[in-house]
Amino acid sequence: MGSADATHVDGTLWRATAEETLVSSESGPWCFESALLPHGDVTVSGSRCSACGRCVLSCSTGALAQGSDVDAPFLITFDSSACSACEACVSSCPEGAIEVRHVIESSQLTSHRRTVVDIASNPTCSSCGSILAGGLASSTIVERLATSHPRLAERLRTEVRCTDCLLTL
């Protein structure tokens, strides 16, 4: 491996190859990114997330966790110190809403959770009052049902009801 860049950080000499980068970061004094790192940082596109929770179920390290509070009925948090960058969350996401960077930052050396998905103010079903899915969930369901069940897809498009209530009415 040839040395493409060498930088001193906190008295330590870091060398980065052509495939690796060592840069300053807003979230910490240093950041090292390499495809070879067994450590990652997860970002989730809130506009593409369908709130299915598959990413949390596929995360074997517990880096992703699902929760909720009064203001956000669907909440996913991420602990970067627990992430092994296995990308199981990426492959489990049906919406392609997750990205994993193979990176380590000085701020990741201590355990702390940050919110990566916060779907607030979800509409509720006008019949039963249950919370409707967030993100792209309803439009994704409509798109997938449009060919096989066009009447149901149209009802989903025009009525504010959950799929259970639409099927029983």
The pLDDT tens digits for 39-73 are: 888 999 877 787 788 999 999 999 999 886 655 66
Instruction: Tell me the whole-structure pTM to 2 decimals.
Output: 0.59
Cα 88 from Cα 66, distance rounded (Å): 16
Q: Are residues 14 and 81 in the same domain?
A: yes
Domain identity same for 69 and 44:
yes
Same domain, 30 and 50: yes
Same domain, 148 and 97: no
pLDDT value of residue 3? 42
**How many structural domains are present in the chain?**
2
- Predicted pLDDT of residue 141: 72
Neighbour count for residue 73 (Cβ, 10 Å): 18
Strands 40-44 and 12-16: unpaired
Q: Do 64 and 131 belong together in one domain?
A: no
pLDDT at res. 122: 59
Q: Among candidates 6, 13, 42, which has minimal Cα distance to 115?
A: 42
Res 72: pLDDT? 62
Task: Provide the CATH number for the domain around residue 93.
Answer: 3.30.70.20
Structural domain boundaries enclosing 69: 5-119
- Which residues of the chain register pLDDT less than 50? 1-4, 8, 13, 18, 25, 27-28, 135
Nearest CA-CA partner of 117 in 87, 137, 147: 137
pLDDT value of residue 46: 77
Partner residues linked to 142 by β-bridges: none
Give, to the nearest 10 degrees, the angle between helix 137-145 and helix 150-158: 150
| Whole-number pLDDT of residue 27 | 46
Question: Residue 24: what pLDDT?
Answer: 54
Q: Are 103 and 81 in a shared domain?
A: yes
Same domain, 89 and 154: no
Residue that terminates a domain, selected from 79, 104, 119 = 119
What's the confidence (pLDDT) of residue 25? 47
Please check whether residues 164 and 109 belong to one and the same domain.
no
Give the end of a domain, one of 79, 103, 119: 119
Best CA proximity match to 30, nearest among 7, 3, 4, 5 = 7
Are residues 134 and 64 both part of a single domain?
no
Tell me, yes or no, whether 76 and 151 share the same domain.
no
Residue 103 sits in the same domain as residue 160: no
State the Rg of the chain over Cα. 21
C-alpha dist (Å) from residue 85 to 17, 27, 53, 65, 112: 20, 19, 18, 15, 17
Domain boundary among 77, 95, 119: 119
The contacts of residue 82 (CB under 8 Å, 6+ apart) are: 61, 62, 63, 111
